[in-house]
């Protein structure tokens, strides 16, 4: 038995960022991770063939690069090996009619591509990009502040002071709009609307879901203004650097150490019991980077003592799942829409707003989508160090899929477990890619497929393969993430806190949840 100030359940990047800050503040910390590999959804490994490094989950590290944590600790992270690869050609979409549109960090390049569709859309793009710094100040402040009435009032006051009542209401309207409403208000070309709307599908914002417009808006403007950032050699560069920081500050990070129970006495968390039977004591905090459903009846066998909280954790809503297909390739895909697509970090394959809405609805109804949205990541187009010379890896994210399969919208795959279905479904995905990039299969040297069930096996926070650990719809975001009254990482159990994607400010590699909690506990 050892005694620590803070014990962390799970070594996702939020826990690690929190542990790093608290360790540097003098806290004695220990991070326990059930998996043999540290990093949760941010890991890199040779899943297919030796020498081919694949990002298991997150590939795009722009949120980490732009985070408050990175701003504060850039030097420390760098000294522990953090290295980024900067992307110029960020994201694009290829379409069934042979056209494509893409956003590069060079405004004139993007504008020239837009001009092929519509002069009005060029003008709108230039206007939005010009206004972005003024808008971003408020949105980033909102997303980077704790969910307290005081912080919210401060953001609203600043917004009103800088933009007046009309401007403030316009920002509010953007926050409430669906992707389709905002995109159709602003752009006239379906190809452009569709390219931007694909960002909503990285979360669970299909085109008609209220509150989703802000994600296509922020991603488009941020990619245009700052480009995108990948990890040099793999996304796990941030994990290795975070672990280095924690250890250098005296903290412990233990892999293969599953926490079976959070011990509680007198209404306060006192430590953890590992699956191995070992007990460890935490005098100031137990910080659980887990999915809400893992608490009551599991990590807290007796519950939290607050029936309302326990019910809310059980009812926490997960988003549809994801399948990941990792390919080792002889060469990048030959995109029929244009060879320039080979330079892009992401090529989205999502033909229209309606198709995306249908895909989401099919997944929600338990049906395998006939046409899933594909995010085809080409990390070696940016960072060749991830594969042997001249070879490539492809990172294919398949959105959105049901956790339990009740049927197939294409009527071809019999319902069954994901273990039984995943190979057939992966063939559907490859067929779709080949319809845009012929003969891809001939370039495949190796493949590794992770169904939604496999994702959950690798990381239990990805419930049903939900890559964002909980729906981000308005009723479960902001003051309601993970539940009303608990948006500040607090729980009804004294000294027990939640961190991670299920908590404010949600999924992604921005480390906001872990860092804001760390500052709340240990000061700035
Ligand atoms: C396929 C996929 C693609 C993604 N792509 C991107 C992207 O490109 N860009 C981006 O910004 N974001 C992306 N995301 C989202 C982002 O990666 C996650 O939101 C983020 O990494 C979650 O971090 P976290 O701190 O919540 O913890 P997680 O990464 O979920 O890690 C939690 C850890 O806790 C461990 N754990 C759970 N229970 C226990 C226990 N009882 N005992 C011990 N350990 C336990 C788990 O094993 C896991 O290692 C993606 C996610 C996935 C899955």
Q: How far apart are CA 429 and CA 71, in angstroms?
A: 39
Mean pLDDT of 306-310: 98
- On whether the CB atoms of residues 208 and 241 are closer than 8 A, the answer is no
Q: Angle, to 10 degrees, between the axis of helix 237-248 and the axis of helix 13-24?
A: 30
3-state SS string over 189-218? CHHHHHHHHHHHHHCCCCCCCCCCCHHHHH
DSSP state of 490: B
Ligand 1 close to Cβ of residue 398 (< 6 A): no
Share of residues in the chain with pLDDT > 70 (%): 100
Q: CATH class for domain 2-43+63-83+234-316+470-522?
A: alpha beta
- Residues 6 or more apart in contact with residue 241 via CB below 8 angstroms: 77, 78, 80, 81, 82
Q: How far apart are CA 213 and CA 172, in angstroms?
A: 11
Mean pLDDT of 313-319: 98
The tokens of 321 are what?
Answer: 């799942």
> Which pLDDT belongs to residue 150?
87
- On whether the CB atoms of residues 454 and 462 are closer than 8 A, the answer is no
The tokens of 149 are what?
Answer: 């009435």
- On whether the CB atoms of residues 253 and 38 are closer than 8 A, the answer is yes
32: β partners? 9, 254
Ligand 1 close to Cβ of residue 14 (< 6 A): yes
- On whether the CB atoms of residues 38 and 251 are closer than 8 A, the answer is no
* Å from CA of 294 to ligand 1 middle: 14
Which of the listed residues 7, 9, 12 should we mutate to test ligand 1's pocket, taking the one with most ligand atoms within 8 A of CB? 12
Ligand 1 close to Cβ of residue 221 (< 6 A): no
Mean pLDDT of 19-27: 98
Index of the ligand 1 atom closest to the CA of residue 510: 11
The CATH architecture of the domain made up of 320-458 is Alpha-Beta Complex (3.90)
Which of the listed residues 9, 16, 39, 57 should we mutate to test ligand 1's pocket, taking the one with most ligand atoms within 8 A of CB? 57
Q: Angle, to 10 degrees, between the axis of helix 149-176 and the axis of helix 214-226?
A: 90
Kindly calculate the radius of gyration of the chain based on its CA atoms and give it in whole angstroms: 22
Question: Beta strand 100-104 with 89-94: parallel, antiparallel or unpaired?
Answer: antiparallel
* Å from CA of 168 to ligand 1 middle: 34
Helix (H) or strand (E) holding 86, with range, is strand 84-87
Backbone dihedral region of 173: left (phi > 0), alpha (psi from -120 to 50 degrees) or beta?
alpha
For the four alpha carbons of 92, 443, 423 and 462, in that order, the dihedral sign comes to: negative
Q: Which is nearest to 426 in space by CA: 406, 447, 405, 442?
A: 447
Mean pLDDT of 234-238: 98
- Where exactly are the structural domains of the chain? 2-43+63-83+234-316+470-522, 105-223, 320-458
Share of residues in the chain with pLDDT > 90 (%): 99
For the four alpha carbons of 99, 105, 107 and 108, in that order, the dihedral sign comes to: negative
pLDDT digits (tens, 9 = 90+) for 487-505: 999 999 999 999 999 999 9
Q: How far apart are CA 389 and CA 387, in angstroms?
A: 6
Q: How far apart are CA 376 and CA 386, in angstroms?
A: 16
Q: How far apart are CA 236 and CA 424, in angstroms?
A: 30
Helices (DSSP H) in 144-189: which residue ranges? 149-176, 179-186
> Which pLDDT belongs to residue 24?
98
pLDDT digits (tens, 9 = 90+) for 329-374: 999 999 999 999 999 999 999 999 999 999 999 999 999 999 999 9
Q: How far apart are CA 19 and CA 513, in angstroms?
A: 12
Index of the ligand 1 atom closest to the CA of residue 39: 49
77: helix, coil or strand? helix
* Å from CA of 344 to ligand 1 middle: 25
- On whether the CB atoms of residues 211 and 477 are closer than 8 A, the answer is yes
pLDDT digits (tens, 9 = 90+) for 55-84: 999 999 999 999 999 999 999 999 999 999
pLDDT digits (tens, 9 = 90+) for 114-135: 999 999 999 999 999 999 999 9
**Would you report the helix, strand and coil content of the chain in percent, each value rounded to 5?**
40, 20, 35
Average pLDDT, the chain: 97
368: β partners? 408
DSSP state of 515: H
Report CA 201 to chain centroid distance, whole Å.
11
Q: Which is nearest to 15 in space by CA: 300, 257, 313?
A: 257
The tokens of 487 are what?
Answer: 């948006």
Q: How far apart are CA 469 and CA 481, in angstroms?
A: 11
Index of the ligand 1 atom closest to the CA of residue 514: 25
CA end-to-end distance (rounded Å), the chain: 31
The phi, psi pair for 284, rounded to 5°, reads: -115, -35
The tokens of 326 are what?
Answer: 């990792």
408: β partners? 368
pTM of the model: 0.98
For 14, 119, 311, 409, 485, the CA distances from 492, given in Å and listed in that order, are 21, 56, 12, 43, 10
> Which pLDDT belongs to residue 149?
86
> Which pLDDT belongs to residue 475?
97
pLDDT digits (tens, 9 = 90+) for 420-472: 999 999 999 999 999 999 999 999 999 999 999 999 999 999 999 999 999 99
Which of the listed residues 58, 255, 294, 375 should we mutate to test ligand 1's pocket, taking the one with most ligand atoms within 8 A of CB? 58
> Which pLDDT belongs to residue 41?
98
Index of the ligand 1 atom closest to the CA of residue 56: 1
State the CB neighbour count (10 A cutoff) for residue 393.
29
């Amino acid at each position: 038995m050892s005694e620590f100030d803070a014990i962390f359940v799970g070594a996702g990047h939020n826990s690690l960022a929190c542990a790093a800050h608290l360790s540097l503040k003098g806290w004695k910390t220990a991070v326990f991770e059930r998996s043999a590999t540290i990093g949760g959804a941010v890991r890199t490994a040779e899943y297919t063939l030796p020498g081919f490094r694949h990002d298991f989950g997150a590939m795009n590290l722009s949120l980490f690069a732009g985070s408050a944590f990175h701003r504060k600790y850039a030097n420390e992270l760098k000294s522990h090996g953090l290295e980024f690869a900067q992307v110029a050609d960020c994201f694009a979409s290829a379409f069934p009619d042979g056209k494509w549109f893409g956003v590069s960090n060079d405004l004139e390049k993007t504008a020239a591509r837009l001009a092929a569709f519509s002069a009005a859309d060029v003008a709108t793009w230039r206007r939005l990009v010009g206004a972005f710094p003024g808008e971003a100040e408020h949105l980033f402040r909102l997303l980077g502040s704790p969910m307290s009435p005081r912080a919210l009032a401060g953001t609203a006051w600043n917004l009103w002071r800088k933009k007046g009542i009309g401007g403030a209401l316009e920002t509010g309207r953007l926050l409430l709009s669906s992707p389709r409403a905002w995109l159709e208000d602003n752009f006239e070309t379906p190809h452009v609307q569709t390219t931007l709307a694909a960002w909503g599908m990285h979360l669970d914002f299909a085109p008609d879901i209220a509150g989703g417009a802000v994600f296509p808006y922020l991603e488009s403007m941020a990619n245009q203004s700052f480009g995108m950032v990948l990890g040099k050699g793999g996304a796990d560069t941030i994990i290795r650097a975070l672990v280095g920081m924690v250890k250098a500050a005296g903290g412990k990070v233990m892999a293969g150490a599953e926490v079976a129970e959070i011990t509680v006495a007198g209404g306060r968390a006192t430590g953890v019991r590992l699956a191995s039977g070992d007990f460890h004591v935490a005098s100031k905090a137990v910080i659980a980077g887990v999915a809400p459903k893992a608490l009551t009846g599991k990590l807290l066998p007796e519950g939290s003592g607050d029936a309302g909280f326990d019910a809310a954790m059980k009812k926490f809503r997960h988003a549809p799942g994801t399948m990941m297909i990792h390919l080792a390739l002889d060469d990048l895909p030959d995109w029929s829409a244009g060879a320039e697509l080979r330079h892009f970090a992401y090529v989205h394959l999502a033909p229209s707003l309606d198709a995306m809405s249908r895909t989401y609805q099919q997944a929600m109804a338990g049906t395998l989508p006939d046409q899933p949205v594909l995010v085809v990541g080409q990390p070696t187009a940016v960072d060749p160090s991830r594969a042997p010379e001249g070879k490539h890896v492809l990172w294919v994210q398949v959105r959105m899929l049901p956790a339990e399969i009740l049927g197939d919208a294409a009527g071809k795959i019999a319902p069954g477990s994901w273990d039984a279905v995943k190979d057939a479904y992966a063939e559907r995905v490859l067929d779709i890619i080949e319809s845009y990039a012929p003969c891809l299969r001939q370039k495949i040297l190796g493949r590794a497929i992770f169904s939604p069930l496999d994702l959950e096996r690798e990381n239990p926070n990805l419930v049903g393969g939900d890559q964002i650990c909980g729906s981000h719809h308005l009723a479960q975001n902001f003051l309601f993430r993970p539940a009303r009254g608990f948006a500040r990482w607090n729980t009804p159990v004294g000294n027990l806190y939640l961190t991670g994607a299920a908590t404010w400010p949600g999924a992604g590699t921005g480390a906001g949840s872990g860092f804001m909690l760390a500052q709340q506990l240990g000061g700035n």
